[in-house]
Amino acid sequence: MRLKLLVRLGAIIVAAFVMFPAIGSNIPHVSACEAVHPKTGDLNADGHTNSLDALSVLFYQAGMMEPPNETWLGGADVNCDSSVNSIDASIILQVDAGLATIRP
Protein backbone atom coordinates (compact mmCIF):
# COMPACT_ATOMS: atom_id res chain seq x y z
CA MET A 1 0.00 0.00 0.00
CA ARG A 2 2.75 2.43 0.98
CA LEU A 3 4.77 1.44 -2.08
CA LYS A 4 1.83 2.13 -4.39
CA LEU A 5 1.39 5.53 -2.76
CA LEU A 6 5.09 6.31 -3.24
CA VAL A 7 4.94 5.21 -6.89
CA ARG A 8 1.90 7.41 -7.50
CA LEU A 9 3.56 10.34 -5.72
CA GLY A 10 6.67 9.82 -7.81
CA ALA A 11 4.60 9.70 -11.02
CA ILE A 12 2.88 12.97 -10.09
CA ILE A 13 6.19 14.66 -9.37
CA VAL A 14 7.69 13.37 -12.62
CA ALA A 15 4.66 14.66 -14.52
CA ALA A 16 5.14 18.09 -12.93
CA PHE A 17 8.76 18.22 -14.01
CA VAL A 18 7.89 17.08 -17.53
CA MET A 19 5.11 19.69 -17.79
CA PHE A 20 7.37 22.46 -16.47
CA PRO A 21 10.80 21.76 -17.97
CA ALA A 22 12.17 25.11 -16.79
CA ILE A 23 12.43 23.60 -13.32
CA GLY A 24 16.01 22.58 -12.79
CA SER A 25 17.24 24.10 -16.04
CA ASN A 26 20.64 24.71 -14.44
CA ILE A 27 21.38 21.00 -14.14
CA PRO A 28 25.10 20.34 -14.50
CA HIS A 29 26.22 17.86 -17.10
CA VAL A 30 27.52 14.49 -16.03
CA SER A 31 30.84 13.58 -17.56
CA ALA A 32 31.46 10.21 -15.93
CA CYS A 33 28.25 8.52 -17.04
CA GLU A 34 29.82 5.73 -19.01
CA ALA A 35 32.34 5.03 -16.24
CA VAL A 36 29.64 3.97 -13.78
CA HIS A 37 28.86 0.25 -14.09
CA PRO A 38 26.59 -1.49 -13.63
CA LYS A 39 23.79 1.02 -13.87
CA THR A 40 20.82 -0.18 -11.88
CA GLY A 41 19.05 3.02 -10.81
CA ASP A 42 19.48 1.92 -7.19
CA LEU A 43 20.83 5.26 -6.08
CA ASN A 44 20.48 4.77 -2.33
CA ALA A 45 22.10 1.32 -2.53
CA ASP A 46 19.30 -0.44 -0.67
CA GLY A 47 19.15 -3.26 -3.21
CA HIS A 48 15.97 -2.04 -4.89
CA THR A 49 15.32 0.30 -7.80
CA ASN A 50 12.15 2.10 -6.83
CA SER A 51 10.35 5.39 -6.31
CA LEU A 52 12.73 6.47 -3.55
CA ASP A 53 15.56 6.45 -6.07
CA ALA A 54 13.42 8.38 -8.56
CA LEU A 55 12.50 10.87 -5.84
CA SER A 56 16.16 11.53 -5.08
CA VAL A 57 16.71 12.37 -8.76
CA LEU A 58 13.84 14.84 -8.64
CA PHE A 59 15.14 16.38 -5.40
CA TYR A 60 18.51 16.80 -7.08
CA GLN A 61 16.94 18.35 -10.18
CA ALA A 62 14.96 20.77 -8.03
CA GLY A 63 18.12 21.79 -6.15
CA MET A 64 16.79 20.30 -2.93
CA MET A 65 19.77 17.99 -2.40
CA GLU A 66 23.44 17.85 -3.26
CA PRO A 67 24.73 14.73 -5.01
CA PRO A 68 26.63 12.57 -2.50
CA ASN A 69 29.48 12.10 -5.00
CA GLU A 70 30.33 11.91 -8.71
CA THR A 71 29.48 8.21 -8.78
CA TRP A 72 25.93 9.06 -7.70
CA LEU A 73 25.64 11.51 -10.59
CA GLY A 74 26.83 8.89 -13.05
CA GLY A 75 24.45 6.32 -11.63
CA ALA A 76 21.53 8.76 -11.63
CA ASP A 77 21.98 9.52 -15.33
CA VAL A 78 20.38 6.22 -16.26
CA ASN A 79 19.82 7.14 -19.92
CA CYS A 80 23.40 8.48 -20.31
CA ASP A 81 22.41 11.79 -21.85
CA SER A 82 24.82 13.69 -19.57
CA SER A 83 21.99 15.20 -17.56
CA VAL A 84 20.23 14.08 -14.38
CA ASN A 85 16.59 15.03 -14.65
CA SER A 86 12.98 13.89 -14.59
CA ILE A 87 13.54 11.63 -17.59
CA ASP A 88 15.94 9.58 -15.49
CA ALA A 89 13.37 9.54 -12.67
CA SER A 90 10.73 8.37 -15.11
CA ILE A 91 12.98 5.54 -16.33
CA ILE A 92 13.67 4.47 -12.74
CA LEU A 93 9.91 4.34 -12.07
CA GLN A 94 9.43 2.29 -15.23
CA VAL A 95 12.11 -0.14 -14.05
CA ASP A 96 10.35 -0.40 -10.69
CA ALA A 97 7.10 -1.19 -12.48
CA GLY A 98 8.80 -3.83 -14.66
CA LEU A 99 8.22 -1.82 -17.82
CA ALA A 100 11.86 -1.06 -18.66
CA THR A 101 15.40 -2.13 -17.99
CA ILE A 102 18.54 -0.07 -17.64
CA ARG A 103 21.38 -1.12 -19.85
CA PRO A 104 24.35 -2.42 -17.88
Query: Where does this chain bind Ca ion (CB under 5 A)?
Result: 42, 44, 46, 48, 53, 77, 79, 81, 83, 88
**Hey, how many other C-beta atoms are within 10 angstroms of the C-beta on 43?**
25
Least separation in angstroms between residue 1's CB and Ca ion is 19
Least separation in angstroms between residue 34's CB and Ca ion is 12
CB nearer Ca ion, residue 46 or residue 64: 46
**Dist CA 65 CA 49 (whole Å):** 19
Q: With DSSP H G I counted as helix, E B as strand and the rest as coil, what are the percentages for the chain, rounded to 5?
A: 50, 0, 50
CB nearer Ca ion, residue 20 or residue 28: 28
